[in-house]
Structure formats: C-alpha cells, structure tokens
C-alpha cells in the first residue's frame, strides 16, 4: 500500500493521472485524444506523464498493483465511450475506499463533534449525497452530448463540473467528521490576501462599461446570469473568510498601495 495518502480531493487527480498513463502507454493514444477522453486539457496530461503534477504522491500509486488495476479498468471504460467525469469519479472513490484518506494538515482539532443524534445519520447522508452528485454529473454529461449547440453544452458541462466539485467537497468533509472534527479554521492565508483578492475581483468587474445581460436572450442570457451568480457567490465566500478570524498578516506582507 502506498505510504503517501492524499486528501479525498486529490484522489480524483491521482486517478486522472493513472488513467492518463494507461491510455497513452497502455493503449497508445495521443496525449490530445487522452485529454478529450478524460475531459481535461492536454497540458494536464503532459504534466501527469512527466511527473510535474502530483510528484511523489503519484509515484507511490504507480507502484501499487491494485491502483494500476483500477486505472486500467477505468481506461477500458473510457475507450468504450463511458462518460468521463462519472467513470473517473467512481474510480477515485474506489481508490479512496481502498487506501483511506488523510485530511490536509490544518487547524482542525478534536472537539465534541456532531451532536449524538447526527453522528449516526451523517455518514449515510454523506454517501447518499455523493451518489446523488454522481448521478447529476452523469445526467448533465448525457444532456450535453444530446445538445446541438455549443452554448447549451457549456451550460450542462458547467453544472456537471459543479456537481463533481460538490462530491469532492462532501468527501473532504466526511474525512474530518470521521476524526471527530466538526470545525476547522482556514490556514496558510492572511486577511490581507483575501482583501487583495476581493479588490482584484471588483477591479475586473469594473472593466465592463455596460451590463450586457439585459441585451442577451435565450442560452446566452442564461450563461451570462450563471457568471453573475458565481461572482456573487465568490463575494459571499470571501466575506465569510474575512469573518472567520484570519490573521492580519501585515507584519509579513509587503506594503500594498490601496486604490
């Protein structure tokens, strides 16, 4: 068994890397075609093959027979036309179940955890949530394939990507809850980092002199509104970060000229 255990989120990347090697080295596919089958950009495939991405973590799994078997089976499914996001996610979950997971080092500490009445219900609920997100990914990809125009495909692929990310988040939360941790503080960033990011987001929004949304219709308006909704969500999440008690970080940061 590999000694280096990635977080649940990284298991997806590990599986992508393992399958990329199977498709290129085992099935002889070009890197560009491999990227299409995996639903990732060609540069990611190149980095997986060269070891520039994941590094030692990937090496430990390349040396494990069971991990390679899972990757080989996943590559075979992709070759027969299976939906990439669903197949890779299922394989990543299988890999995680076999090798376990270790949450990223952080400030999460042992505490009273969840209330007793929740402790029995949450594990099954989390598993159901992951299955639900998997089904949503598969359905969105099916609808994207049925769509006849680029904009409709883009919408369903966006929803599929969101559902895949949700499944990864749930897996990460489950890993912490398994350790009895129900609260974890952000690490590695300062209040100034977040304030600078908020300022840059606002500057990007201000570059547009008009609100294009009302002038659009149909799928074009829907996609525009999806971007606007994401921006509002980002602003909300960053404000929550500021409210979480981040260290100021002024002593270690270079002075930044405020607008």
Within-domain flag for 114: yes
HSE value, Cβ hemisphere, 13 Å, CA-based, for 44:
17
Rounded Cα distance between 219 and 211, Å, is 17
Q: How far from chain centre, in Å, is Cα 52?
A: 19
Task: Say yes or no: 1 and 97 in one domain.
Answer: yes
Q: How many CB atoms lie within 10 A of CB 248?
A: 11
| pLDDT value at residue 119 | 65
Token pair recorded at residue 116:
């007793």
Residue 257 or residue 152, greater confidence:
152
Task: Say yes or no: 77 and 5 in one domain.
Answer: yes
User: How many domains is the chain partitioned into structurally?
Assistant: 3
Domain that holds residue 227: 191-243
| pLDDT value at residue 20 | 92
Task: Say yes or no: 3 and 94 in one domain.
Answer: yes
The string of pLDDT tens digits covering residues 46-89 is 888 887 777 777 777 887 888 888 999 999 888 887 666 778 87
Rounded Cα distance between 101 and 94, Å, is 12
Residues 213, 225 contacting (CB under 8 angstroms): yes
Q: Is 137 helix (H, G, I), strand (E, B) or coil?
A: helix
Within-domain flag for 135: yes
Considering just the CA atoms, what is the radius of gyration of the chain in Å? Answer: 21
Within-domain flag for 211: yes
For the purposes of burial, counting CB atoms within 10 Å of the CB of 178, is it exposed (0-12), middle (13-18) or buried (19 or more)? Answer: middle
Q: Select from 149, 157, 156 the least CA-distant residue to 39.
A: 157
Task: Say yes or no: 178 and 206 in one domain.
Answer: no
- Quick one: pLDDT band at residue 43, thresholds 50, 70, 90? confident
| pLDDT value at residue 188 | 79
Task: Say yes or no: 158 and 196 in one domain.
Answer: no
The string of pLDDT tens digits covering residues 176-225 is 777 677 777 777 788 888 888 888 887 777 666 667 778 888 988 988 88
Task: Say yes or no: 75 and 91 in one domain.
Answer: yes
Q: Select from 51, 54, 65 the least CA-distant residue to 14.
A: 54
The string of pLDDT tens digits covering residues 84-128 is 677 887 888 788 777 654 433 334 444 455 566 666 677 677 777
Phi and psi torsions of 211, nearest 5° = -95, 105
């Amino acid at each position: 068994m590999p000694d280096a255990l990635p977080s649940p989120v990284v298991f997806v990347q590990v599986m992508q890397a393992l399958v990329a090697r199977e498709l290129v080295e085992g099935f002889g596919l070009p890197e560009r075609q491999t990227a299409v089958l995996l639903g990732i950009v060609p540069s990611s495939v190149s980095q997986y093959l060269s070891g520039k991405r994941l590094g030692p973590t990937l090496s430990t799994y390349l040396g494990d027979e069971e991990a390679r078997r899972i990757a080989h089976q996943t590559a075979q499914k992709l070759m027969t036309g299976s939906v990439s996001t669903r197949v890779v996610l299922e394989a990543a979950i299988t890999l995680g179940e076999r090798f376990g997971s270790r949450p990223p080092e952080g400030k999460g500490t042992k505490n009273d955890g969840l209330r007793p009445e929740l402790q029995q219900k949450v594990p099954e609920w989390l598993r159901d949530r992951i299955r639900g997100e998997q089904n949503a990914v598969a359905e969105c990809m099916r609808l994207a394939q049925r769509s006849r125009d680029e904009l409709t495909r883009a919408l369903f692929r966006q929803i599929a990507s969101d559902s895949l990310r949700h499944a990864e988040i749930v897996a990460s939360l489950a890993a912490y809850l398994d350790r009895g941790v129900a609260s974890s503080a952000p690490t590695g960033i300062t209040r100034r980092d977040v304030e600078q990011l908020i300022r840059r987001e606002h500057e990007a929004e201000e570059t547009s002199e008009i609100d294009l949304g009302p002038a659009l219709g149909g799928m074009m308006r829907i996609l525009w509104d999806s971007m606007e909704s994401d921006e509002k969500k980002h602003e909300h999440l960053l404000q929550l970060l500021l409210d979480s008690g981040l260290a100021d970080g002024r002593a270690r940061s270079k002075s930044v000229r405020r607008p």
